[in-house]
Chains A and B, each alone.
Chain A
């Protein structure tokens, strides 16, 4: 990267500060899953043993934010240790600590997203404008400015993708495999659906096998990758066990008598006990998932949605609202319609291109770009097929991973179609890109009241209901 690239990156980070990070502690009221995640995070701070459905890293980082900033040091939060769902938060409690790392990672994701696009196209200006898709997406922003897991998860996924793309063409050392494994392990240690990043290893292997044939080095590389990912995953669980040093209010989470004895003996940090505790935790996760309700579209107020509707933005979720006279403030999970539509077009065109090449024998213009388009299309479709098999209720934010993949595809398709014009600075193409980017920014601004808890009256709200299927509903 040259000086201009760094300047563009700096400018993106500056913009990202204002879209993702600035004022992230507002509203100082909980919404959506914060009731769960803050309860879990506080248990790490107070060294209380607990189990829950998600892997531990995300909540550990949420806890770390509270420890670093400790804005609630004079507030009694011991009640959080006695529940998995906080019904009443203490008066005057600040969310600045718990939300610190989700917001910080979301902000830093801007840089990682730029680096991914830069590595893909080697064009800093296109990477800069392409980053606006992430930078100004209302759904990603609103969800990331809360004590939730998805922005942390995306950070590690972006890290894995960046490394995957950076080393895609070059001969890979074992260290490269290890680094990809570490990024993947970190992502999976936040949320299990990050396991989609395992496909990146598969794509690397496929690339190398095509180039140099089946070699021992590829098997060793895959082994090193798995080692890195598993070491991180288990290491995070080790930390989780080590921090769970006491049982509060007989809340054992169905831990086996052996596990309970380990806690009584203050032996949770002893690696010899690791397997007992891991087994109990995995069993708890499995049972918990069985208990999660299924999607019921006939249920009034159902927030869940079918994966098939996610690319269209189905359905928005009203995370929080507060009424003041005729004005209502909202925290609404609603995407930037322009960015989401571009993402969908990116996916459709990518599928069309891949099929045209593979089935109809369309000549490939740029082999490298085409391989990336095919690879990310494969990841996108694989994720959608995988989530389609999950029987439990799922929500729009489970689309964040494929959404960001679709944003990558938008830039790749654009680059594939207009590579020469982009490189030579064609005015019509760059003018069009500028117009598209301006539309993304405008739509972000227009939908920003849903993102930043700004008041709207019913008429102003209705102006934003462009499609009924989003299921945006004004509070009156």
Chain B
């Protein structure tokens, strides 16, 4: 039979453990709420209506945000998990810039859900685009990329009504949000 004695536990160390846990909690809270500079999002609000990707802008507000993943879910107002509701509803564009490193040459499938249109470039070369307005829909394209550092650029526009852009990439069968590391593909902090 096994017996126990609670007196064996020195409660002083319980207090010490609590004090250490307090600092761990502080450290974790700060670290988990620190924005990593993975994707630079430059948002430009236009006073002139935008109906396609190359429509000229009349900027009335410009804002730069750093985000860790390309995830602005479908809705009536632009929203990101890190920032909450951002106040943008219509006639704006966002330029996303990021760098990533590919550990080996491989085929990467990019999948973009957007409302409205977008244009994706890798290393300055256009990979895919949807230049007009549309409901929240999917576009995808597979490209073979050599080992090494690459740049990723997305231009997104919102005209009126519902909005949103969510981007993924797929290595083999695994899908990751753009901004989050995969097996061979690692996004770089800028």
Contacts and interface: CB of A to CB of B under 8 A. Distances in A.
Interface of A: 326, 337-338, 417-418, 421, 426, 428-429, 431-433, 435-436, 439, 442-443, 446, 458-459, 462-466, 473-474, 476
A338 B12 contact: no
A466 B66 CA distance: 18
Interface centre among B19, B64, B84 (most CB of A within 10 A): B19
Contact of A466 (B20, B23, B29, B64): B29
A338 B30 CA distance: 13
B23 A435 contact: yes
18 contacts: A338-B26, A418-B12, A428-B16, A429-B12, A429-B15, A432-B18, A432-B19, A435-B22, A436-B18, A436-B22, A439-B22, A458-B83, A459-B34, A459-B66, A463-B35, A466-B29, A466-B33, A473-B84
Nearest to B36: A459
B158 to A, nearest CB: 17
Contacts of B35: 459, 462-463
Contact of A464 (B15, B33, B65): B33
Given A418-B15, A476-B86, A463 B30 contact: yes
Contacts of B34: 459, 463
A432 B161 CA distance: 56
B12 A432 contact: yes
Interface string B1-39: 000000000011101101110110010011001110000
Contacts of B33: 462-466
B82 interface: yes
Contacts of A433: 15, 19
A422 to B, nearest CB: 11
Interface string B37-57: 000000000000000000000
Interface residues of B, number: 25
Contacts of A436: 18-19, 22
A133 B84 CA distance: 32
B9 to A, nearest CB: 13
A439 B27 CA distance: 10
B172 interface: no
A338 B16 contact: no
Given A428-B12, A466-B33, A476-B83, 16 more contacts: A326-B64, A337-B29, A338-B22, A338-B26, A417-B15, A418-B11, A418-B12, A426-B12, A429-B12, A435-B20, A439-B22, A439-B26, A442-B26, A458-B65, A462-B82, A476-B86
Nearest to A338: B22
B34 to A, nearest CB: 5
B15 A428 contact: yes
A66 to B, nearest CB: 40
A82 to B, nearest CB: 37
Contacts of B13: 428
A429 B19 CA distance: 10
B87 interface: yes
A446 B12 contact: no
Nearest to A439: B22
Nearest to A472: B84
A426 B15 CA distance: 12
Contacts of A443: 26
Contacts of A465: 33
A450 B116 CA distance: 38
A443 B29 CA distance: 11
Contacts of A464: 33
Interface in B162-190: none
Interface in B44-85: 63-66, 82-84
Contacts of A463: 30, 33-35
B37 to A, nearest CB: 9
Given A428-B13, A428-B16, A476 B22 contact: no
A356 to B, nearest CB: 14
B88 to A, nearest CB: 10
A346 B84 CA distance: 33
Contacts of A474: 83
Contacts of B22: 338, 435-436, 439
